[in-house]
Structure 1
Amino acid sequence: MQSQIDALGELSETDQKVEGKANLHLEAAREQVEHKGYLNKLLHRHTSTDVIAAMTNIREAEVELTRLLQGEDLRSRVPRILTHAREHLSPDDPQRRLLEKEWGTTEEGRRRLPAGTEGIAAETLHAANKVEERERIRLRSFTHILICSITVMSLIAVGFGIWAVVDPNVANLFCFPDQRRIVPRICPIGRHRAAGSDVFLIEFMGMFAAALAGAASLKTMRGNSSPYHVSILLLLLRLPVGAMTAVLGILLVSGAFFPGLTSLDASAQIIAWAAAFGILQEPVTRAVDRTGRSFLDELTPPEAAKTRPGADQRRHEPEAHGRRKKRIVGRR
């Protein structure tokens, strides 16, 4: 971006002010990525605030540069601006429609850009950048919600296990009377006396089952170009949710909540039910997955893939060829 600005050559007094604004944005972007101190670097790496601020300033510099372009330089940049606008602006957006109208004007088989098109292109690029920035802010807010949810639920799960260690009466809730009356009670680990480790075992089995369910869902996940690791956080969310659903499920069985399932006869059976309840977290986390994918689709909309040259033509060519062949056969 700096090299493109430096290559503009001699400018009028008004254009020099625009060039100065572009240089100020680039200088601000440099300051954002030049961290001082290890703690500052670590903080920015986890929050990605430096990336967002730097990219915002670079985009603003690009808008100012577009105001200064003329002729072939502007003509070569307009298609990329239109692609960016179509990804983030609605089809009825007036700024996008105005640029498409100007770009659609042809003269002797060549795109003609009337005077003032550089301002229209700059405003269209600015509008698309603002929409993309709002989408990234929503994605960042969703990421923070995921981090807080994972942290809080993990603390609850660990705290409940510690409570069971301190108070054996809590661990007693996860033991069942022996229907055969061979031993007084049946606990998850196999001992006949409840302990806090029984609760931790149930939580571990719930996390284990949730991790397996999360591994199976990897086939529907995709990477993204944003600095936020949404897919990883969605996988991590399954672990504390699986631990809590396993604990809650065994408590419901112990409280005779499910008709016909009032007691478990062996330690392995308790552990198996804990794993089953851990897998049952999937409907809850799947709804969160859909929300996360919708935020990612706003940044990389499916429409961008459909606008690749020849994509639709290649997809529908065999079908159209088959229809033509059928019509010919019918005539015969």
Structure 2
Amino acid sequence: MEERADKNLGRYREWWRERRSWEISEEGRANICKVRALVEARDAGLSENGDDKKLLAAARVELDLADELLDFERHRRKPLGSHVTAAQIHLSAARLLWVKSFLSSPREIRPYLPSLLAIVKEHLPAGDERRKSVEKIRHGESLDDADVVMITEAVEAAQAVSLREKLRAGSFVRIVWVVAGFLFVLALSIGALSAAWPEAVPLCFNPPKSMEALAAEEAEMRGSTPPVMYEVVCPTGSDPSPDSPDLDVNFARTAEGRDYFVVEVAGLVAAGLASASALRKIRGTATPYGVPVALAALKLPAGALTAVGGLLLMRGGFVPGLSALDSSAQIIAWAIIFGYSQELFTKFVDRRGQAVLEEVRGPGDLPPGARRRGDSPGGSSPGSQAPAIT
């Protein structure tokens, strides 16, 4: 029994480590194997121990470092995307060292030009001079060491742009999670403070009484004390016959500590529905960074806070004609509406998140008819990407 529990715990730990990037890690291992095969094939064709051999030896070191980063048994960092990006940095360095090994024999690099050009086109715009130089080299007849240098610079620039795109995506996700966490803490703090002091800022309204209710109260009191002309309605309770002439006193008597929590839960549920409906716009992501999940998490506390804020604005008469709700059900209904309305604020963050994902993707990931910013209609296409050394 204990062995089975340890086995299940080990499986859970393995799933927890690899839950967000297992497939991408396996793709990275496959790319490492492909580049390693190219390095070994290149090394086998060299007879002398010159600079090319040293470059290939350095490429092997980079490949070993990349392989180590993708092995969860050899490092204990949480796989939150950073380990994949770090492995890709070493893989890119190994690819550059492999390309530089052709300085002594430039003609041998010609079969790999389509794949190298695909890497350059994926991240550099059509107007970039380094990309233009590689395109000219591909259509040229002869190659020399200067051409190899230009190819290396172009590939290195493309890989630098790719790295910045991934780092930008990771930074964006971290910022969104921090803001979402701050809003969650803020919502919980507001609920806790309102539970401790429910009379401080009550979410209550004072709709006017009906003529029948006023007549009945006047008949009952027989003119001794003028009746209060309004009722008190709160999210979880109401007082149809308040007896104090002071509105704040009536609100303090009727308000309860759970009012804010009920309103926040209503806004949270509405924001959850908004997050679910927003799934129709998500195309998924091939990056190890959960941008859509972070954006969905941001909507939940935002919905709770907009529900509270919207009701406070109504209570202050900010919305003409909606300053006196008639029942607790109406208050909850408006809390749901305000909770769903957080889309008005978070849609700008959604657009920015989608833009970040589009910047990370390559041409093959773009929707039909779309082009990368700064690219030309005759630029790269999905079919131009050769998988030989990606």
TM-score range, shorter chain: 0.7 to 0.9
1:276-291 aligned within 5 A: 276-291=337-352
Deviation at 1:235, TM superposition (A): 1.1
The answer to whether the 8 A contact 1:103-1:113 is kept is no
Q: Which residue of 2 aligns with 1:174?
A: 203
| Distance of aligned partners of 1:301 and 1:26 in 2 relative to their CA distance in 1, 3 Å threshold | closer
User: Are 2:60 and 1:23 equivalent residues in the alignment?
Assistant: yes
Deviation at 1:258, TM superposition (A): 1.4
TM (norm. structure 2) is 0.71
User: Are 2:265 and 1:241 equivalent residues in the alignment?
Assistant: no
What CA distance in whole angstroms lies between the structure 2 residues aligned with 1:264 and 1:72? 81
Deviation at 1:67, TM superposition (A): 2.4
What CA distance in whole angstroms lies between the structure 1 residues aligned with 2:290 and 2:299? 15
What RMSD, in angstroms, separates the aligned Cα atoms of the two structures? 2.4
The answer to whether the 8 A contact 1:175-1:186 is kept is yes
What CA distance in whole angstroms lies between the structure 2 residues aligned with 1:292 and 1:159? 28
User: Are 2:7 and 1:7 equivalent residues in the alignment?
Assistant: no
Deviates more, 1:135-144 or 1:269-278: 135-144
User: Are 2:181 and 1:151 equivalent residues in the alignment?
Assistant: yes
Q: Highest relative contact order (Cα 8 Å, sep 6+), 1 or 2?
A: 2
Q: Which residue of 2 aligns with 1:185?
A: 232
What CA distance in whole angstroms lies between the structure 2 residues aligned with 1:217 and 1:168? 35
What CA distance in whole angstroms lies between the structure 1 residues aligned with 2:127 and 2:207? 70
What code does the residue aligned with 1:209 have? A
**Which residue of 128, 132, 137 corresponds with 2:162?**
132
**Which residue of 44, 61, 71 corresponds with 2:78?**
44
What code does the residue aligned with 1:79 have? P
| Distance of aligned partners of 1:235 and 1:73 in 2 relative to their CA distance in 1, 3 Å threshold | farther
User: Are 2:144 and 1:115 equivalent residues in the alignment?
Assistant: yes
User: Are 2:117 and 1:82 equivalent residues in the alignment?
Assistant: yes
What is the DSSP-based 3-state SS (H/G/I as helix, E as strand, rest coil) of the residue aligned with 1:246? helix
User: Are 2:260 and 1:230 equivalent residues in the alignment?
Assistant: no
Q: Which residue of 1 aligns with 2:330?
A: 269
Question: Normalized per residue, which structure has more helix?
Answer: 1
The answer to whether the 8 A contact 2:205-2:324 is kept is yes
Give aligned pairs, total. 299
Deviation at 1:64, TM superposition (A): 1.1
What CA distance in whole angstroms lies between the structure 1 residues aligned with 2:365 and 2:79? 29
The answer to whether the 8 A contact 1:67-1:119 is kept is yes
What CA distance in whole angstroms lies between the structure 1 residues aligned with 2:313 and 2:307? 10
Identity %: 32
What CA distance in whole angstroms lies between the structure 2 residues aligned with 1:267 and 1:258? 18
What code does the residue aligned with 2:264 have? E
The answer to whether the 8 A contact 2:59-2:95 is kept is yes
What code does the residue aligned with 1:262 have? S
The answer to whether the 8 A contact 2:203-2:235 is kept is yes
What CA distance in whole angstroms lies between the structure 1 residues aligned with 2:325 and 2:297? 30
Deviates more, 1:283-292 or 1:1-10: 1-10
The answer to whether the 8 A contact 1:186-1:265 is kept is yes
Q: Which residue of 2 aligns with 1:54?
A: 87
What CA distance in whole angstroms lies between the structure 1 residues aligned with 2:108 and 2:265? 61
User: Are 2:311 and 1:250 equivalent residues in the alignment?
Assistant: yes
Q: Which residue of 2 aligns with 1:98?
A: 133
Q: Which residue of 2 aligns with 1:68?
A: 101
The C-alpha deviation readout for 1:269-312, integer Å capped at 9, x for no partner, is 001111111121112111111111111111115586461359xx
The C-alpha deviation readout for 1:146-200, integer Å capped at 9, x for no partner, is 0110000000000100001111214x52122252277952121235532222111
